[in-house]
């Protein structure tokens, strides 16, 4: 936002009549005269050094023409070979004077016979022309013609398709989205060459003018869901949409909930799977993260690998993740309440050894737990931001050396270090990063409840959490479905992942138009 403001003040210095000119440009249409047209474009963006104006003459005639483009955003080879060359050289061999005098004919003729670029549009409004130039198109102006040709020459450097870093799998495709919307769209098309795959284009950000794609399966996705998403996408007016996280925060249901209500993913296979389940995906230009909506809590604990593996290991590993999620949230709080309130619930010999290790620890167990959990969060954050080799060192130094030293110094008990380590590792077993963060935050709430009320507090916290999650909805779909509302059909793909053979129908909660997944009688 700051950058764009600066830009407008620059404009003010360069051109004298800053207040009126842009407004004039809006209302003004393209004229016959090439000089006024060029002048008009120059007034708007001409002071930028990356905007290139190239004037030339059509063939051997005296007819003037010009192209305007932004350096770096266009494919220069394309412009030279297919536009300039054909306009200057090839034109002269086939044109006739009569054809040139007829302006309307000239326009069609240039369009049909001269320019060998696939993407050609005709524009009459300067506003659109300037936007197109700034997003990488080339504007072709010809004297005596009152339209400007917009040639799709956009080409800029993009990252190649790489393995997604945040969601790596042992088994599964290694392709991930990149920053180019065209590439991402192609990945989806390649995975799902079905005419039902529909992509609606939106423009996000008044200034950033990012393309956004709303992707769904026509004939599968429930139209009501589609309407909700469309409505939410149209409702807000952003200045800048840098990342799909911006969009996520505008379209989510509950802004105060800790749980992510939209899933973000780098994996095309995940998006495709969601689409065929009747969900909707949102792709934004400039980010490898696609959004999937609606989501349920169970999706946060699922990995595409559950489906790629055979069903028994897939189910068990998924069960393990539910277990890990429980450990992440509740183990430190249960430990605190056992230590501070309910010593009778620990097996006698364990209780004796815990008491012995805690002898001499100066803090109450709650403070001790908060201290260590905060320390491990700091370590995690520090390791994340540093370059990879350094990050690993930080983790090692933090985990081993500081932990060991803290125990030796008698600040924390060794069992607390074990508890903290177990919770930290469990939290990393959750495949969705944002869900992992949510659960880690909840852990602190649970610990404080445990420190005040013991197990009673932990149960209260659990109830509170359950109430919140029951209330939460993501685009009309209850967050903890299919547990509540209870839908037995969807339990096939909930805690366990049943064999694909018997998952014959799409999830009931998505209310798809066509719910058959497999052919044959179900």
Interface residue list for another protein (CB under 8 A): 338-341, 343-346, 348, 351-361, 364-365, 451-454, 456, 460
Select from 344, 345, 337, 346 the least CA-distant residue to 365.
337
Going 361 to 362 to 365 to 370, the CA torsion angle's sign is: negative
Question: Which lies closer to another protein via its Cβ, residue 344 or residue 520?
Answer: 344
**Closer to another protein at the Cβ: 402 or 460?**
460
Minimum CB–partner distance for residue 413 and another protein (Å): 9
In the complex, least distance from residue 329 CB atom to another protein, rounded to whole angstroms: 20
How is residue 517 written in tokens? 């997944």
Q: Minimum Å distance from CB 355 to another protein?
A: 4
Smallest separation, CB 364 to another protein (Å): 6
From the CB of 471, what's the least distance to another protein, in Å?
A: 13
Q: How far apart are CA 125 and CA 129, in angstroms?
A: 6
Tokens 């989501």 — which residue? Answer: 295
Min. distance of Cβ 358 from another protein in angstroms? Answer: 4
Q: What is the largest CA-CA distance in the chain?
A: 106
Taking the least distance from each CB to another protein, the nearer of 193 and 360 is 360
Query: How near is the Cβ of 339 to another protein at its closest, in Å?
Result: 5
Closest CB to another protein among residues 120, 361: 361
- How are the residues of the chain apportioned to helix, strand and coil, as percentages rounded to the nearest 5? 55, 15, 35
Of 110, 113, 169, give the one whose Cα is nearest residue 140: 110
Task: Tell me how far CA of residue 276 lies from CA of 169, 181, 204, 305, 506, in angstroms.
Answer: 21, 21, 26, 17, 8
Label residue 248 left, alpha or beta by phi (over 0 means left) and psi (-120 to 50 means alpha). Answer: alpha
- Measure the CA–CA gap between 203 and 163, rounded to whole angstroms: 28
User: Among residues 223 and 364, whose Cβ is nearest to another protein?
Assistant: 364
Rounded CA separation 174/392 (Å): 24
Between 200 and 415, CB nearer to another protein: 415
Nearer to another protein, 192 or 469 (CB): 469
């Amino acid at each position: 936002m700051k950058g764009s403001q600066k830009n407008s003040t620059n404009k003010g210095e360069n051109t004298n009549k800053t207040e009126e000119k842009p407004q004039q440009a809006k209302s003004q249409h393209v004229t016959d005269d090439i000089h006024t047209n060029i002048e008009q474009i120059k007034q708007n963006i001409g002071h930028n050094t990356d905007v290139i104006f190239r004037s030339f003459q059509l063939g051997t005639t005296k007819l003037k023409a010009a192209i305007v483009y932004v350096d770096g955003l266009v494919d220069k080879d394309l412009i030279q070979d297919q536009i300039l060359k054909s306009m200057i050289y090839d034109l002269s061999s086939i044109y006739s004077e009569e054809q040139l005098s007829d302006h309307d004919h000239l326009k069609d003729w240039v369009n049909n016979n001269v320019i060998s670029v696939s993407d050609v549009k005709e524009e009459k409004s300067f506003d659109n022309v300037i936007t197109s130039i700034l997003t990488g198109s080339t504007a072709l102006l010809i004297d005596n013609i009152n339209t400007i040709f917009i040639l799709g020459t956009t080409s800029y450097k993009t990252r190649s398709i790489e393995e997604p870093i945040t969601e790596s799998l042992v088994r599964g495709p290694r392709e991930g989205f990149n920053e180019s919307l065209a590439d991402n769209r192609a990945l989806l098309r390649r995975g799902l060459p079905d005419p039902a795959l529909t992509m609606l284009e939106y423009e996000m950000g008044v200034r950033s003018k990012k393309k956004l794609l709303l992707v769904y399966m026509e004939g599968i996705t429930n139209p009501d869901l589609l309407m909700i998403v469309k409505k939410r996408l149209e409702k807000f007016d952003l200045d800048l949409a840098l990342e799909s996280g911006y969009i996520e925060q505008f379209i989510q249901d509950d802004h105060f909930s800790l749980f992510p209500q939209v899933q973000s993913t780098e994996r095309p296979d995940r998006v495709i799977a969601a689409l065929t389940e009747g969900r909707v995906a949102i792709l934004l230009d400039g980010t490898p993260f696609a959004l999937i909506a609606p989501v349920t809590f169970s999706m946060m604990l699922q990995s595409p690998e559950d489906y790629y593996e055979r069903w028994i290991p897939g189910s068990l590993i998924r069960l393990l993740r539910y277990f890990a999620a429980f450990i992440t949230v509740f183990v430190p709080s249960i430990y605190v309440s056992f230590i501070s309130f309910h010593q009778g619930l620990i097996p006698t010999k364990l209780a004796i050894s815990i008491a012995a290790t805690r002898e001499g620890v100066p803090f109450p167990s709650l403070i001790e737990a908060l201290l260590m959990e905060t320390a491990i969060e700091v370590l995690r954050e520090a390791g994340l931001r540093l370059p990879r080799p350094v990050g690993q060192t930080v983790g090692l130094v933090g985990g081993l050396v500081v932990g060991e030293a803290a125990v030796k110094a008698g600040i924390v008990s060794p069992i607390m270090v074990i508890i903290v380590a177990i919770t930290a590792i469990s939290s990393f077993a959750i495949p969705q990063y944002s869900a992992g963060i949510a659960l880690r935050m909840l852990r602190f709430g649970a610990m404080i409840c445990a420190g005040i009320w013991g197990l009673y507090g932990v149960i209260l916290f659990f109830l509170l959490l359950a109430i919140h999650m029951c209330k939460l909805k993501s685009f009309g779909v209850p967050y903890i479905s299919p547990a509540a509302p209870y839908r037995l059909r969807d339990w096939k793909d909930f805690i366990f992942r049943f064999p694909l053979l018997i998952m014959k129908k799409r999830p009931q909660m998505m209310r798809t138009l066509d719910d058959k997944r497999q052919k044959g009688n179900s």
